[in-house]
Structure 1
Amino acid sequence: MRVLKFGGSSVANADNIKKVAAIISHAKEGKKIIVVSAMSGVTNQLLHIGNTAAKADESYKTILQDLLNHHLNEAKKLLPVTTQSACLSSIMQLFNEIEEIAESVCHLKEFSPATKDRILSFGEILSSKIISAHFYSIGLKHVWMDTRELILTNSKFGAAEVKFAETNKLIKEKITHSEDDIFLAPGFIASNKRNQVTTLGRGGSDYTAAIFAAATNAELLEIWTDVSGMMTADPRWVSNAKPIPFISFKEAMELSHFGAKVIYPPTIIPAMQAGIPIKIKNTFSPNDEGTYISEQIEGEHADIVTGISSITEIALLSLEGSGMVGVPGISKVLFEALATAQINVVLITQSSSEHSICVAINANELERAKEVLDATFKNDIEAKRVEPIKEEKNLSIIALVGDKMKSHPGISGKMFSVLGRNGINVRAIAQGSSEKNISAVIAFDDVKKAVNVLHEAFFEKVYKQLNLFIVGTGNVGSRLIEQLKHQSDYLLKNLNIQLRVAGMANSRKMLFSDNGGIHLDSWKEDLNNGSKFEFEKFIQEIINSNLRNSVVVDVTANKNMAENYHLLLEKSIAVVACNKIACSSSFEYYKKLKLLSKEFNAPFFFETNVGAGLPIIGTLNDLLRSGDEIVKMQAVLSGTLNFVFNNYDGKKTFAKVVKQAQDEGYTEPDPRLDLGGTDVMRKIMILAREAGNEINMEDIANEQFLPASCFEGNVEDFYKELALNEDHFKKLYQEASDKNCKLKYVATFAEGKANVGLQAVNEQSDFYHLYGKDNIVLFFTKRYPDQPLVIKGAGAGAEVTASGVFADLIKAVS
């Protein structure tokens, strides 16, 4: 004996019912009981009819007529014209009964639980009658059974409790005394001892199938639905969710209780008690293996974590107070009050100090639960033995499930570490002594992100998804995008990192992608067709998207962007900044960003602030972390100035050399930031701060080599002044040349003080043999007192700067 249950989606229409018939026809020989649900959506429509009629709103008649037409049309599609009459007549008769009930509800303006069960029962009766007629039309011999005559319950309408002794006896007698091999029955419905129709609650058709299986000691219970088994997570939220091939009864119970909709929790109990395995199969992909549920899964099939599930729309109620400490019976009073009010407690936590008890309930029961507890503890609250009941809304529960978690330490630690790294705050935690389930209450807005990061951590061994939001698509930004495109396959293959550009913006346009990310082959065109860039909307969209492993990459010189990094870090969104403004702003803001990065576990990297792609800040931090101390730093930190003075020899005007540097992308948009020393001041200040010093721009001495007139007007005026002061620049060059020296713009930090300025250096200097756009940094430390640690290389240029940003990106998710 096998029992096969087909859900609402499996019998939703004529085409699907034909698939059901094909599955049964091709099933192996032996007795079979087929249990079917109502057509998809019909139960809700019947409920809508009853509720509408109870308001004396006669529009229920229109809904009823539409529902009748739907059933008639599907029956006509299924049946040959010559055999339609009996079935269509039966449908009409059943709808006449529904209409009579609805009219009574409309006149009385009352929709009682008993009447509700009766009207809802027609969904399964209708679908099973139509399916039965189709089976006869294709020669599939069977017996239609009225489940109301076989399953007996109490009178708890809406969620009736089965009387198993009487039920099992009736089912055995019906099956045993029949020579037929196929039995077809409507699910969900039953009756009480007064022959009133009752229903078995949400997912009752699954439960019906399990009852039949247990009563007949079936060899297998098959649940046919629209997915290929239970999944490691909700596939609507996790694109990489995988079917679970094998799972134990208890694991399935945990997952189904915590929101896995594939199987109704009570279904498992009769099958588990009778030792009958359950198979979850896909009606629309019948060859898929599906999920096999049995007593215990051992060996190669037993994963440490089996699946991740969640319950949305949860609320927390907290009872706290010093008057609870050491007082027996407080918990009893709390739970008795909720139980009397028929309020189900989903999760419980209690502090070891006995100072507080926290319970999670369904959000739609919050108001009633609060009223009940306020009344129950009124005297204690007034006497200030306990505080007023606290409530929290807009929450969800996320659960990690697996039989083998109890034998593997560190699972809960990994779970909460992953949630913490992604800025997901845990409000309450519950873990039973069996350690089959670790549950956490989190914000409703975080549940999709939480499921994804946990699935990535426990199931996706292939890669970790990195969601990028790139601000700035100029020289550096466009090079970075090209590098991302070129290296994406390498990162996936060698570092298990999947790059996904989720958003992009420049000064004019912004673009976001909800699914697979922005296509890097067509990003320019797509961005141009994007929406108008608005800074506040751009930041808010990043925050609202709430994607896992999010990194904002700022390759602009935008002051507004830099001044709002804190909004991102506070949401545990990593920031990689090429933009120097944030780290060279006030020391208070710099310190705030560093603290936020640490507090919210959001990486904040800005290596390219100092030396483009050179590992200067990283090396400095490594020295400090290893216990070394910085004594002095000397550096040539401007690739622009080094390029200019390496190419200026008095033959070509100074203005033309500067313009060349700008044209080749070495300067800031306003070259005066470079030539005036501002950029170098920022860089040495950032290094000094990273070395642990409190320093601001006004603390740095700047010996200007540009005439004051060069700083007046706009950039065009600047170039004119450079040309007018050519003699000044020739003199600087000649004086250095006469001493066999070269001009270098040097930054120094020592003994808490910093200065920058143009120097003539001789050939003994480390700065003398510095060519092109190269930078150099000398770290004099306790370990390197005489011979400094030297970092030297290209310190400017879009390509190397982009590579430095790229390196920071990889660090952000490592």
Structure 2
Amino acid sequence: MKVLKFGGSSVASSENIENVLAIVAKESKNEKVVIVVSAFGKTTDKLLAAANEAIVDINIAKNTLETIKNLHFEIIENLITKDMDVVSKEVFDLFKRLNSIYEGIFLLQELSDKTLAKVASFGERLSSFIIANAAKETLNASHKESRDLIITNNNHLNAQVNFKISNENITTYFNNNNNQVVILGGFIASNSSKETTTLGRGGSDFTASIYAAALDANELQIWTDVSGMYTANPRIVKQAFPISEISYEEAMELSHFGAKVLYPPTIQPSLRKEIPIRIKNTFDPENSGTLISKNPKNNNGVKGISHIEDISLITLEGGGMIGIPGFSKRLFETLSQEKINVVFITQASSEHSICVGVYENDALKSKELLEETFSIEITRKKIKPIIVESNLAIIAVVGESMKNHQGLSGQMFSALGRNNVNVRAIAQGSSEKNISAVINKYDAKKALTTLHEQFFEEKTKQLNLFVTGVGNVGERFLAQINQQKKFLKENLKLKIKVIGIANSKKMFFDESGINLKNWKEALNNGEPTSLDSFYNKVKACNLVNSVFVDNTANKEVSEIYEKYLRESISVVTCNKIACASSFNNYKTLKEVSRKYNASFLFETNVGAGLPIIDTLKNLINSGDRIHKIQAVLSGSLNFVFNNFDEDATFHDVVAEAQKEGYTEPDPKIDLSGVDVARKILILARESGYNLELEDITNNSFLLEESLATSNNKDFYDSLIKNETHFQHIFQEANDKECRLKYVAEFENGKANVGLQHISADHPFYNLEGSDNIVLFFTERYPENPLIIKGAGAGADVTASGIFADVIRIANQ
């Protein structure tokens, strides 16, 4: 038997409910299933809002109730065909009862917890009844009231379950029930007097867990609108991804610290019975989601990062506390008696202070209570007046096996420090499942993105290099390493060794480090090479801190990055093909990089040595959001159109650009706009957007004849043949007193590249030589963009960009 719980978003409309019923039909083919449903959409919130409105104005409450009623009858009309009259009458009677309750609230001018619980219960009573009747039309299904089965104490709004009686009720009922599907409402229960109670925050999840434990279910499934528990809140951290497997304890830690897909009480009944819990997406049912179990398969260090906002720190401090027992007891008793939840605790080893975190709306009350409790000590100046700090957040790094991974605390606080996030307090349990820190609420988003990058994105240090491609860029790269060897050792304490080099014909390896003064001679005397043989040699070396450096523009080379990353070998590349390939491949490379602790860096994919991608990452990681990108991203095209006029032939200018090393080996890649399209695609993806190369609108200025050529000779011949076409393009811009620039633009999830007429007042007008320029319009730079400008092509600057990426890895 399985228990499936569907949340409010899963049953918010008739279309969504049809998805739910399709899932139920599939899950119930081979075994009985218990279905627990929440109220439709935000119905419970609206019901409670109407109850509060009823005290002020009964007519406003009735208008709200009418809106709720219309939604329910619309769903009935769309889903029910066989017994519509019976279902409609029952639902009508429930709304009539609700109306009477609201009128009572208005007349008595009183709204007790008992009444609030009764009002709140109608959401699940209505949804479960309607969904059950819709299910009956195609499935062997029945409906049962949870209030008849789950018995609680008299706390109407946050009731404690009597598991002994509830479990007996549940097992008795289901032993006598022969239906394949039983549908019940979550969140609601009753006390021994048959009065309605509710189970509080996350009550529907809790209800499902109660049923799963009582029935010894094979699995508890929580169906929601996301595909599992994420490494961080995906609404804040765009790079966050679902966790495939996680332990009960890790799930509880993450949910305690704000992972809203699951609430901590949900886990307890299932944890006691060791029943697996799976978080699944109603709108993507084939996705495996997150499995919560006793022994998850992937148990590697940090599992997730979560946070709670609106926290206040309350500090009890003073020399009079040292060596005197009882201060902690009195503090926690005072807060406990008033039902104030403590979410964070830390105490100095000197016993000089105790610091606790509470929710901000409890802070003032907590301060008053504690000042009363410790009034004598405060008056006698044995302790200081209670200190309250507000506008804080708690950020937590969670992972059950963190204790087996050295240095995680150091990584966490170093990353926060580098990004100017001040830590106010720290707590780490002896089990080391969680490291939590209190920070300024303002820094919460920045801290989340920073820590996610630290623990789930590029991070591995690498110092042993394996270089493929030693032409223009590769040769200068090796020269720069040789030139800076002494500086790196003395100033950065880094020793970078080149262990292997290769071109298309030969490869050479020396595990002690290749002498970069005579590497050409060594390579000439090397052995025959292939992509596989080079990879196998790198793998056989099995050196720590290994980096594969790709200085080619070769598609086949780009296709083996994943193999290196899976061996924990980092990849640095100026080759754009991988990052501009299918989004799935780009995403896979990122994921594999994280999984195997191997960096994947490609700063030179855009702007050669300019810090364009690095700047973009820093913007995103610090919480900024990209609105628009405008850029001239082709040094070769900028060189071409800066030098092309009526006195020069287009063919000769392009040939000169290739001679100077500005173009790709195949200049058509640059002139067709494909190279620029790849660059803006990479910037869009790094901004968090899912785009493919074919999504980029390419307004090419080349004629079809040039685009159709298959080799450089034919391509250059086509340029000579169509010189008139290019002169016309120049003259048209010249007549308008404009300059020609090949511009890439990204805005509102769409991108395009093409030749544009740039007037004298535009930032692109005076872009000289082979320079690139990028304008980032963001939330922080909405009108005056952040501008990056400089040499964007050429072997030296490209080599320096690759070198910078290697140093980034070494310094991580």
TM tier, shorter chain? 0.5 to 0.7
Matches of 1:5 and 1:796, distance apart in 2: 57
- Written as runs of structure 1 = structure 2, the 5 A alignment for 1:522-533 is none
Aligned to 1:200: 199
Q: Is the 8 A contact 1:259 1:311 kept in 2?
A: yes
Q: Deviations over 1:195-248 (max 9, x none)?
A: 110000111111111111111111111111111111111111111211111111
- TM alignment of 1:647-666, pairs within 5 A: none
Partner of 2:444: 447
CA distance in 1, matches of 2:116, 2:324: 45
**Would you say the 8 A contact 1:399–1:437 is kept in 2?**
yes
CA distance in 2, matches of 1:797, 1:369: 59
| 2:243 aligned partner | 244
Q: Would you say the 8 A contact 2:145–2:185 is kept in 1?
A: yes
Offset at residue 513 of structure 1 (A): 7.4
- 1:419 paired with 2:416, answer yes
Structure 2 equivalent of residue 368 of structure 1: 365
- 1:105 maps to what in 2? 105
Task: Tell me if structure 1 keeps the 8 A contact 2:791–2:797.
Answer: no
The aligned counterpart of 1:135 is: 135
- Contact kept, 8 Å, 1:280 with 1:291, in 2: the verdict is yes
Partners of 2:314 and 2:803 lie apart in 1 by: 43
Residue 228 of structure 1 aligns to a residue whose secondary structure is coil
Q: Does 1:334 align with 2:334?
A: no
> Does the aligned pair in 1 maintain the 2:634–2:792 contact within 8 Å?
no
3-state SS in 2 of match to 1:171: helix
Tell me the secondary structure at the aligned position of residue 342 of structure 1.
coil
Partner in structure 1 of residue 301 of structure 2: 304
What's the TM-score, normalizing by structure 1? Answer: 0.60
The aligned amino acid for 1:9 is: S
- Residue 763 of structure 1 aligns with which residue? none
Partners of 2:55 and 2:356 in 1: CA distance: 35
Q: For residues 346 and 663 of structure 1, do their structure 2 counterparts lie closer, same or farther at Cα, with a shift above 3 Å needed?
A: closer
Q: Which residue is 2:187 aligned to? A: 188
Q: What are the residue-to-residue correspondences of 1:19-418 with 2, within 5 Å?
A: 19-27=19-27, 28-56=29-57, 58-80=59-81, 83-137=83-137, 139-297=138-296, 301-418=298-415
* Unaligned runs of at least 5 residues, structure 1: 465-484, 505-511, 525-661, 666-794
Separation of aligned partners in 1, 2:449 and 2:20: 34
2:447 aligns to what SS in structure 1? helix
Aligned to 2:5: 5
Q: Contact 1:502 / 1:514 at 8 angstroms: preserved in 2?
A: no
1:489 is displaced (CA, Å) by 7.2
Aligned partner of residue 434 in structure 1, secondary structure: coil
Contact 2:634 2:793 in 1 (8 A): no
Answer yes or no: is the 8 Å Cα contact 1:502–1:513 preserved in 2.
no
Would the aligned equivalents of 1:501 and 1:517 in 2 still touch at CA under 8 Å?
Answer: no
Structure 2 counterparts to residues 352-751 of structure 1, below 5 A = 352-461=349-458, 496-497=600-601, 514-515=625-626, 518-521=629-632
5+ unaligned residues in a row in structure 2: which ranges?
462-572, 580-585, 590-597, 604-611, 617-622, 636-765, 770-789
Structure 2: how far apart are the matches of 1:108 and 1:523?
A: 75
Q: Could you tell me how far apart the structure 1 residues matched to 2:343 and 2:275 are?
A: 28
State the 1:518 CA deviation. 2.2
Q: Could you say what secondary structure the match of 2:629 adopts?
A: coil
d(CA) in 1 for partners of 2:436, 2:74: 46
Q: Aligned pair in 2 of structure 1 residues 78, 355: CA closer, same or farther (>3 Å)?
A: same
CA distance in 2, matches of 1:242, 1:72: 38
Q: Deviations over 1:235-279 (max 9, x none)?
A: 111112111111111111111111111112111110010121111
Is residue 313–residue 395 contact of structure 1 (8 Å, CA) maintained in 2? yes
SS of the residue 2:626 aligns to: coil
Quote the Cα distance in structure 2 between the aligned partners of 1:341 and 1:175.
Answer: 40
Shift of 1:54: 2.5
CA distance in structure 2 between the aligned counterparts of 1:439 and 1:212, rounded to whole angstroms: 33
Aligned AA (2:193): R
Partners of 2:428 and 2:398 in 1: CA distance: 10
Classify the secondary structure of the residue corresponding to 2:152.
coil
CA distance in 2, matches of 1:417, 1:235: 23
Alpha-carbon distance, 1:515 to partner: 3.4
The aligned amino acid for 2:390 is K
1:386-415 CA-to-partner distances (Å, cap 9, x unmatched) read 111111111111111111011222111111
Q: Is the contact between residue 463 and residue 498 of structure 1 (CA under 8 Å) also seen in structure 2?
A: no
Letter in 2 for 1:200: L
Aligned residue for 1:9, secondary structure, equals helix
Decide whether the 8 Å contact of 1:503 with 1:518 is kept in 2.
no
Q: Find the aligned partners of 1:174 and 1:521 in 2 and give their Cα distance.
A: 71
2: CA distance between counterparts of 1:311 and 1:397? 5
How far did 1:799 drift? 8.5
With over 3 angstroms needed to count, the CA separation of the structure-2 counterparts of 1:495 and 1:114, relative to structure 1, is closer
Q: Contact between 1:144 and 1:185, CA under 8 Å: does it hold in 2? A: yes
Deviation digits for residues 16-38 of structure 1 (CA, Å, limit 9, x no counterpart): 00001101111241111111000
RMSD, aligned CA: 3.2
CA apart distance, 1:451: 1.2
Q: CA distance change for structure 1 residues 189 and 522 in 2, over 3 Å: closer, same or farther?
A: farther
Distance (Å, rounded) in 2 between the aligned partners of 1:242 and 1:263:
16
* Aligned twin of 1:537: none
The residue type paired with residue 370 of structure 1 is K
CA distance in 2, matches of 1:419, 1:216: 46
Distance 1:798 1:11 in 2: 55
2-side partners of 1:238 and 1:362: how far apart?
A: 23
Q: Which moved more, 1:486-495 or 1:54-63?
A: 486-495
Contact 2:36 2:184 in 1 (8 A): yes
- The one-letter code sitting in structure 1 at the alignment partner of 2:245 is F
Name the CA distance, whole Å, in 2 between partners of 1:394 and 1:67.
36
Specify whether residues 805 and 109 from structure 1 end up closer, same or farther in structure 2 by C-alpha distance, changes over 3 A only: farther
Aligned amino acid, residue 631 of structure 2 = L
- The AA in structure 2 aligned to 1:36 is V
Deviations 1:737-785 (A, max 9, x none): xxxxxxxxxxxxxxxxxxxxxxxxxxxxxxxxxxxxxxxxxxxxxxxxx
Given that 1:235 and 1:241 are in contact with CA atoms closer than 8 Å, whether structure 2 keeps it comes out as yes
Q: Structure 2 vs 1, CA of residues 498 and 155 (structure 1 numbering), >3 Å: closer, same or farther?
A: farther
User: Per the alignment, do residues 256 and 523 of structure 1 end up closer, same or farther by CA in structure 2, a change over 3 Å counting?
Assistant: farther
Aligned length: 519
User: What letter matches 1:447 in structure 2?
Assistant: A
Q: CA deviation at 1:521?
A: 5.0
| Distance in 2 of aligned mates of 1:502 and 1:113 | 54
In 2: Cα distance, 1:142 partner to 1:376 partner:
57
- 1:79 shift after superposition: 2.2
